[in-house]
Amino acid sequence: MNRILFVMLHPGFLRYYDSALQALAAAGHDVHVAFETDRTKLGEHAIATRLAAASPRLTFGATPERGESVRDFLARGDREATRSGGRGVSSWSREGREESWDSLGTTVRLLLDYLRFFDPVFTRASALRARAEKRVPRIYRGLIAWAAGTRAGRRILAAALQAAEAVIPPNRAIEEFLREQRPDLLLVTPLIELGSQQVDYVKCARRRGIRSALCVASWDNLTSKGLIRVVPDHVLVWNEAQKREAVEMHGVAPAQVITTGAHLFDRWFAARPQRSREAFCRAVGLDPARPYVLYVGSSVFIAPDEVPFVERWLVALRASAIPEVASSGVLIRPHPANARQWRAFDAGAFRDVAIWPPVGADPSAPESSSDYFESLYYSSAVVGINTSAQLEAAIVGRPVFTIRAPEFAHAQEGTLHFQHLAAARGGLARVASNFDEHGLQLAEVLRGGVTDGAGRDFVQSFIRPHGLDVESTTVFRQAIDDLVRLARPVQQRPSWWTLACRPPAFVLARLARALAQDRPLWTFATTPLLSGGVALWGAGFRAQEAASEYAGKTGKRVRRQVWRAWYESTRQIEKTLRRTRKKVVARVRGAGAAAKRVARRSVC
């Protein structure tokens, strides 16, 4: 009997691995899934409850809090909560040495993730770089930008940060957690989130001689998020394209990468419609006599303001001089996590246009999957900006289209995974530069003159590289079987130089913990003076009121109020300085502009 520990960031990742978990349980593996954080906005716990009820070999729970002992962790009743969907996830409260090391680890990982987006391959990825920059305390941003200006600077800084990562000791709570779980294999996902703490699980597994593997959850993970800072023993990817990304961008040895295919899409190969096309069209509000185009919405990061674009797209379709395009129906499917903005959309303003499912519908409802499949299956073409729904459309055999738009440049040319879609590079989607070109492409499909050969080739290479008839779930399960049967790796003890560097590195850890507050430097310079003043004042106050317990409590309350007032005053001073600086810059620019206008008039 083999025991597998699968650490996930939150229950939302269950939708990527539900079929794989069932296959592992059916093969005789005991799998415990531990979530680092809780998330219920899309009903993810319903999947955990369903899986736990289907097999006693599948259990779900929370990871321990940093600094929490296993005894305390078990006392919280997390194991009992696992069977009901993994409630009671940790709050991440930490104190003392562990918190300092965690602060240094988070800082180092955020800096590495931010630094990667200065590589020339990410020249157009300004939005990805900006997203990483928001997570980095301001005090470090200038240093990173300065060092990242040259290739040598990036290499030196990356090497220094990697050395710092090697010095940071594994978290004790996680070590105790692994000792209590005693897994034969550790799986983690996604690991590459910005500043991910899952690195500590890989490091602890190395110390305890436990084989570890990263399961890459989605097609964009290796190019749009952070780095694999500490490489586990194995990395499981979908296809050869992702294998190249793991090797070239993350420094993983080719022998460590295992290609399994995209098992989360297996259900689409076997899916069949539950009702006729006429019944489906009438249910969603479309004319069954006309073909329809399905528009699939994208996530918040890809399309934060998608509705205005779709409205322009619909106007262009209805104004087209091509009858097949102008008269076709349109079904809009909002992204489940980006559906709120569609409340303001008026489908009635356009002829034969509908939204399905309605905004606010439960994406985890039993009928949701069949509705989604039928919307793809009965469509004539699928249009989207940049979303995995376009991959699912290819599996169903529908032509896929996208339109380059300036407002989505950050999500198209600004992301590397979009290049997997671009047909010009052997991808999937037919890409149009404007609405007129898009209308001509749609007309070919609506007239029945285009076959989806590119889609079949893409599915075979990207989704099922081991063969269209070979289930990726089976390949994934076989890969896990092979990993479990391998001999346990040798326990890796810290080297002498790592141990020697830890005492001075702890000073950096304490500093990183302070700088993580993201406050101006001058506040740290004045804090000792204020701290001394408050201590002297508090000592005098305590000496004066030592006879009264109530007065002692009052003194603590007053000191807290003094500290709070100081903290708020520094924030207010900082805000005032920012506003003043903006006003000065604006006035200088205005004076410069006025001078230019006077100069032009004098020349004329």
Angle, vertex CA 565, rays to CA 570 and CA 561, nearest 5: 150
pLDDT digits (tens, 9 = 90+) for 419-429: 888 865 566 88
Check if the beta carbon of residue 431 is closer than 8 Å to that of residue 402.
Answer: yes
- pLDDT reported for residue 77: 45
- pLDDT reported for residue 205: 95
**Whether the predicted pLDDT of 78 surpasses 80:** no
**Structural domain that includes position 300:** 267-463
Q: Pick the more confident residue, 76 or 184.
A: 184
Give the total number of structural domains in the chain.
Answer: 3
Q: Do both 258 and 286 map to the same domain?
A: no
In a domain, 480, yes or no: yes
pLDDT digits (tens, 9 = 90+) for 469-482: 999 999 999 999 99
Q: Pick the more confident residue, 314 or 588.
A: 314
Q: Do both 297 and 402 map to the same domain?
A: yes
Q: Do both 204 and 342 map to the same domain?
A: no
Check if the beta carbon of residue 105 is closer than 8 Å to that of residue 165.
Answer: yes
Give the mean pLDDT of 84-109: 62
Return all residues near 307 (Cβ < 8 A) that are at least 6 apart: 341, 342, 344, 345
In a domain, 495, yes or no: no
Return all residues near 452 (Cβ < 8 A) that are at least 6 apart: 394, 397, 398, 399
pLDDT digits (tens, 9 = 90+) for 317-364: 999 999 999 999 999 999 988 999 999 899 989 999 999 998 888 777
Phi and psi torsions of 295, nearest 5°: -100, 125
Q: Pick the more confident residue, 528 or 93.
A: 528
- pLDDT reported for residue 510: 78
Q: Do both 254 and 272 map to the same domain?
A: no
Neighbouring-strand partners of residue 61 = 34
Number of other CB atoms surrounding residue 406 within 10 Å = 7
Residue (of 133, 132, 155, 151) closest to 142 by Cα position = 133
In a domain, 516, yes or no: no
Lowest mean pLDDT across 8-12, 443-447, 501-505: 501-505
**Whether the predicted pLDDT of 90 surpasses 50:** no
pLDDT digits (tens, 9 = 90+) for 254-265: 999 999 999 999
Q: Do both 287 and 423 map to the same domain?
A: yes
In a domain, 427, yes or no: yes
Phi and psi torsions of 214, nearest 5°: -95, 130
- Could you tell me the two tokens for 311? 């409205």
In a domain, 240, yes or no: yes
In a domain, 155, yes or no: no
Q: Do both 372 and 335 map to the same domain?
A: yes
Q: Do both 244 and 334 map to the same domain?
A: no
Write down the pTM of the prediction.
Answer: 0.80
In a domain, 314, yes or no: yes
Average pLDDT across the chain, whole number: 85
